Amino acid sequence: MSATLSIRVDSETEEELAVLTADGRSRNAAIVSAIHEAYRQAAYARLREDAEALRDNSDYRAEVQAARADMGAEDAW
């Protein structure tokens, strides 16, 4: 599925878009690529937040330590 999107850009954004299309890439391709990159960055930020929350959760850490001990892991977390 394809949809049309109209945006208004300020002069700074227009200059940045010109840099992104200097290699011959279309404005459309540059904008789509920027959206994908922003999405990836947001997803990684959510994953980092989740990992930090688990790292800081003493109950979770205790469960992991117990599981590692049950499996005979040499080092504790």
- Is 4 within the bounds of a domain? no
- Is 2 within the bounds of a domain? no
- Is 40 within the bounds of a domain? yes
- Is 16 within the bounds of a domain? yes
- Is 1 within the bounds of a domain? no
Supply angle C-alpha 31, 32, 38, rounded to 5.
90
Tell me: the pLDDT tens digits for 44-74? 999 999 999 999 999 999 998 899 888 987 6
State which residues form the domain around 24. Answer: 11-70
**CB-based contacts of 20: which residues, under 8 Å, 6+ apart?**
30, 33, 34
- The predicted model gives 2-25 an average pLDDT of 96
Contact in structure between 20 and 34 (CB atoms under 8 Å): yes
| The total number of structural domains that make up the chain | 1
pLDDT of residue 72: 84
Token readout for 7 is 């945006």
Q: What pTM was computed for the model? A: 0.70
